[in-house]
Structure 1
Amino acid sequence: MARALAINVAANTNLPGVRGPVYPDGSFVYLPIPEREPVDPAADVPTYADLLDALDPLPFDLPADSRDRAVHLDPEFAAYPYCENYTYGDEHGVKAGPISELEPGDSLFFYATLTTHEPPAGVATGPAADWVTPDWGAYLIGEFRVERVLDSDACASLSATEREAFASNAHCKRADFDAKVLVRGSDNSRLFDRAVPLSAPESGATANSIVTELSNDSGKGPWWRRRLWFDEAATARLRGLV
């Protein structure tokens, strides 16, 4: 039976200074964080300007100094601009350790904090959903059905063949490879069309039942920054919701 782990990713109020938007119908824009490390000069790493040219218009402007910054496009979703596969890497042990415990067939969910906006002109959306928070909230935005996981030992001795399998991942495009875990998702992975709320409708800081009843987290304090584990029964229920 499969288990699941959910981790926080994507743009936030620290990097690059704004959250991605969620619209009243629950549709959203996945906006990655900026790249903070030097990249391989030979690697194809888009800037925010490149990315925004390939996406629908945003309902706000990015910070002025962000447009020419390279993006750390991680996780990558195969159907998203400048992405080829479903891969994720992380250099921080606090995330890499738990992720390394995942096995093929498990789920790695990604969630982001998103700010509610009206859609910009020309972006079509559907009827408003009653679960979208009035200001900001935490939402599941995608899922990998895990196909392969490389732990810290495997990453430290990454062979040329293994590196090629993850070549499109942002950590493999850095000048110095630094990932302590790499995950490849199967073709059943996806970036969601609609966000799945983890926050209660009234407040982003208030966890809903997915967090408090299905995950291992109490929902107290800044739960939206923490890793959320789901056991086998909870994973089955969660998969049914997305």
Structure 2
Amino acid sequence: MPRAVAINVAANTNLPGRRGPVYPDGSFVYVPIPEREPTAGPVPTYADLDLAAYVPDDAVDRPVHLDPEFAGALGREAYTYGDPYGVKARPISALEPGDSLLFYATLTVSDEDADRANRADRPARANRVDWLPPDWGCFLIGEFRVAEVLTGDEYRKSDAATRERFASNAHARRESFDAAVVVRGDPDGSRLFDRAVPLSTPAGGADANRLVTDLSADSGKGPWWRRVLRYDADATATLRERIDADPADWPA
């Protein structure tokens, strides 16, 4: 039966210095972190991706480390993710086809509906949710249904056809490939969510809800929003149901 792992990604208060926004209706903007390593070719900047409004002024012209990439979002055509750090790479490497690799981000709660109303690509919505924390929170923002997982060594030893399947990944586009694991998502089951899925309670961003404390193997204590969250088969089935449901309708 499928299992799941959830990892922290996207812009934060360290890189590039500001979190992405989540809006009163639960929608959000996916803002990747900046690229910090030399790349083999040109890489789009935040300005190029129409994300300048969501990063500090000194980051607007920085190249973007677009990882994970979601087909149909920010000009991407594939679902890939790579990670160079063992703390994430080890549990990701254990995933198998059909498992879920979930991505979560810390997001700042924003009331800037005027900004959205003035942009054709992000129109304002009328419905306001009641499950957002007051200032910031942790939210699931996307999922890969795993199609293929390679360790860094397996990638380096792979043939040209295999490498081509990961060619658009940010780590494959660096001058020196440095990922300890790369993952390709199945297009039929992978997506960037339209609505953030809360992992924090309405009380505050640091307060983990039951998707963390009851379903994952994590205690929800301390800085849980920086850790890898692991879900066994039964928990994964429940988690997938929660993702597709309105958080307002989740069991108490």
- Contact 1:156/1:180 (<8 A) preserved: no
Please tell me whether residue 65 in structure 1 is matched to residue 58 in structure 2: yes
Aligned residue number for residue 193 of structure 1: 194
Deviation at 1:104, TM superposition (A): 0.2
Q: What does 1:109-128 correspond to in 2, within 5 Å?
A: 109-118=102-111, 119=113, 120=115, 121-122=117-118, 123-128=123-128
Q: Which amino acid aligns with 1:28?
A: F
- Contact 1:155/1:179 (<8 A) preserved: no
- Contact 1:146/1:184 (<8 A) preserved: yes
List per-residue Cα deviations over 1:13-55 (Å, max 9, x = no partner): 00000000000110000000000100113xx521000011xx6
Aligned residue number for residue 139 of structure 2: 139
> If the length of structure 2 is used for normalisation, what is the TM-score?
0.90
Please tell me whether residue 101 in structure 1 is matched to residue 131 in structure 2: no
SS state at 1:173 partner: coil
Selected match of 2:74 from 73, 77, 81: 81
Percent identical? 65
Selected match of 1:50 from 45, 48, 51: 48
Aligned residue number for residue 33 of structure 1: 33
Alignment partners' CA distance in 1, 2:155 and 2:89: 11
Aligned residue number for residue 207 of structure 1: 208
Q: Which amino acid aligns with 1:65?
A: D
**Structure 2 residues without counterparts, runs of 5 or longer:** 244-252
Aligned residue number for residue 179 of structure 1: 179
Aligned residue number for residue 247 of structure 2: none
SS state at 1:81 partner: coil
Aligned residue number for residue 229 of structure 1: 230
List per-residue Cα deviations over 1:96-133 (Å, max 9, x = no partner): 11100000000000000000011214231231111111
**Structure 1 residues without counterparts, runs of 5 or longer:** none
Alignment partners' CA distance in 2, 1:84 and 1:196: 24
Segment drifting more, 90-99 vs 118-127: 118-127
- Contact 1:155/1:180 (<8 A) preserved: no
Q: How many residues align?
A: 235
Alignment partners' CA distance in 1, 2:195 and 2:159: 38
- Contact 1:139/1:198 (<8 A) preserved: yes
Alignment partners' CA distance in 1, 2:69 and 2:24: 25
Alignment partners' CA distance in 1, 2:18 and 2:97: 34
CA RMSD of aligned residues (A): 1.3
Segment drifting more, 98-107 vs 77-86: 77-86
Alignment partners' CA distance in 2, 1:152 and 1:170: 14
